[in-house]
Amino acid sequence: MGDKVPRYIVVLGSLMSGLGKGIVTASVGRILQSKGYSASPIKFDGYLNVDCGTMNPLRHGEVFVLDDGTECDMDFGTYERFLGNSLTRINSITGGKLFQRIIQKERAGGYLGRDVQIVPHLTDEIKAWIRNVGAEKKSDFVLIEVGGTVGDLENAYFIEAMRQMAREEGERMLFIQLTYITALSPGELKTKPTQHANRLITSMGIQPKLILCRGDEPLDKDAREKISLFCNVSPEDVFDDPSLETIYELPIALEKQKFSERLLSHFGLKPAPEDLKGWSALVSKIKDPKNEIKVAISGKYTAVKDAYVSVKEALVHAAAANNTRVHIDWVDTEKLEKDDVKPSELLGEYDGIIVPGGFGNRGIEGKIKAIKYCREKGVPYLGLCLGMQLMTVEYARNVAKMEGANSTEMDEKSPYPVIHIMPEQLKVKEKGATMRLGAWECHLKKGTKAFEAYGTEKIFERHRHRFEVNNELVPKLEEAGLIFSGRSPDGVIVEMAEWKEGWGVGTQAHPELKSRLEVPAPLFVGFVKAALKRQKEKEKKD
Ligand code: GLN
């Protein structure tokens, strides 16, 4: 639909961060899709890192990886999970990328004779980048989420570029302000901070057309009218952005308030019939499912859930597809390293266990014990990247009797280095964007659990690793019974491992990164099915 000259929607945070700007941006996109428009999101992050590949998940949340290998902010996961489209490098703008570009251009003589300035050089670069995304993606709408909040020094030049662009685009560009309304006591909503935040935005030459209010309580008439009067918008353009049981409900909650009608009318577009039926059906399955399973995730960063947000969401998607609620516990398996804690004490109540990706030594032995417990007790196990490597180590030590087997990431002197550094990684010195990244093809062996889950031979999953299964030790592991069910097309890289008995599958990839509410990741669907099956079997026994 549309004439393919894109329109632009900018989502600005005001007042405070952490209000769910990414979810709002993704929801706006999903609503537009439901009206027949295509939407491509851009996120601007003001930090001076080129990407977030070198950031600690504890500080910054999960590092998300795109098909083309771009390492980016976890909001990209939210976009893809809502919109279903695979994004690329150009969807992510950072302060680091912009300055790198400008300085490289300057050194190459791109601005000969001129002093290079924030305005116009940097702002022109930003506007050209955004317009190029619209053209390259052939989108009806480009959604631009500005990281942080208005007033942050590090995004001031970006907001200035948006002001200029709005002047040039006229009615084809619109701003959404996301704000927070506090209630001092029940029913006592305070809109003054929002008014001040709005004044700050307008002082930058930008007038938001729609205001979305997160809050302790839904807006009452009085609060809505105050925001309308002091922020220069009509009362119908002030929306509740309520706390919901599931984030996937936001498009529905906004549409109940006639969001798209107002949004489209600002662009001079007529309301279109809506199609959120399939989406709503999945949301009902999340909220009110038939079954419930309990899953333990044994990660290093159990204190920060954002570190594994894609794993959690992939479980939600796979569970919805199986009409199931998934109760997730973040279990610190380091406790298993103390002899007095038995795996059954810590893990006995779970229908399935996941060891997600990770780096470094800490907590490794506890994870290996957890994997052994799953294998011996027939508990469904899903190993993601590091989780697959440790599954191999466990099998090597306890079944193939390779005493001291390990990954050389953990023990360089292991007599049985079943996991070792990839040869091409040996020469890598720089840390930024140097792992094996992005979507790689894998061929699955027929008759395996991996093949059964995917239902096809050729798959493409996203990666982020430096280590791999050591092919020299593969024959010994296979002899002992470990099945390597997937390899790279040239046969060199082991991509999947699984047990013969029970449901235990490990993958060198991160299939959670491609899971969407409407297209759940096959291995997660297989895992949830196996967990349900085991739960039923256990109930029968009890
Ligand atoms: N540390 C391991 C590697 O680099 C696993 C990485 C991961 O789990 N993403 O290969």
Q: For residue 260, give the H/E element and its range.
A: helix 259-266
Within 6 Å (CB) of ligand 1, which residues are found? Answer: 357-359, 385-386, 409, 464-467
Best mutation site among 300, 410, 466 for ligand 1 pocket (most ligand atoms within 8 Å of CB): 466
Spacing, Cα 151 to ligand 1 middle (Å)? 38
3-state secondary structure at position 344: helix
Q: What pLDDT sits at residue 400?
A: 98
Res. 56: pLDDT tops 90: no
| Contact yes or no for 520/320 (Cβ under 8 A) | yes
Please, how many CA atoms are within 13 Å of residue 140, restricted to the half-sphere of its CB? Answer: 18
What whole-number distance in Å separates Cα of residue 471 and Cα of residue 494?
8
So what's the pLDDT on residue 15?
Answer: 81
CA distances from 338 to 85, 153, 343, 486 (A): 45, 48, 11, 35
Q: Name the percent of the chain in helix, strand, coil, to the closest 5.
A: 45, 20, 35
Distance from the CA of 401 to the center of ligand 1, in angstroms?
Answer: 24
Q: Is-cis flag, bond preceding 520, omega within 30? A: no
- Pocket-testing residue among 54, 62, 310, 359, ligand 1, by greatest number of atoms within 8 A of Cβ: 359
With bands split at pLDDT 50, 70 and 90, how would you rate the model's confidence at 216? confident
Kind plus residue range of the DSSP H or E element containing 311? helix 309-321
Question: Per-residue pLDDT tens for 433-465?
Answer: 889 999 999 999 999 999 999 999 999 999 999
Q: Is residue 305's pLDDT more than 60?
A: yes
pLDDT at 502 over 90: yes
Name the band, by pLDDT with cuts 50, 70 and 90, for residue 319. Answer: very high
pTM: 0.95
Q: What is the pLDDT of residues 227-258, one digit of tens each?
A: 999 999 999 999 999 999 999 999 999 999 99
> Which phi and psi (to 5°) does residue 496 adopt?
-140, 145
pLDDT at 301: 67
**Ligand 1: nearest atom to the Cα of 510:** 9
Give percent of the chain above pLDDT 90: 87
pLDDT at 1 over 50: no
Side chain identity at residue 239, one-letter code: F
Query: For residue 294, what is the enclosing H or E element?
Result: strand 291-297
Evaluate the CA torsion angle 472, 478, 480, 483 in order and state its sign.
Answer: positive
d(CA 97, CA 146): 15
Residues 6+ apart with CB under 8 A from 508: 385, 388, 389, 463, 465, 468, 469, 493, 494, 495, 496
pLDDT of residue 2: 46
pLDDT in tens, 2-52: 457 999 999 999 988 889 999 999 999 999 999 999 999 999 999 999 998
- Closest protein CA for atom 1 of ligand 1: 359
d(CA 90, CA 48): 17
Tell me the C-alpha distance between 525 and 352, whole Å: 12
Q: Tell me the domains of the chain and their CATH numbers.
A: 7-281 (3.40.50.300), 289-541 (3.40.50.880)
How remote is the CA of residue 82 from the centroid of ligand 1, in Å? 27
**pLDDT at residue 429, as a whole number:** 86
> How confident is the model over 280-291, as pLDDT tens digits?
999 999 999 999
Q: Where does 417-510 have alpha helices with state H? A: 449-454, 474-480
Condensed to tens digits (0 to 9), the pLDDT of residues 84-138 reads: 999 999 999 999 999 999 999 999 999 999 999 999 999 999 999 999 999 999 9
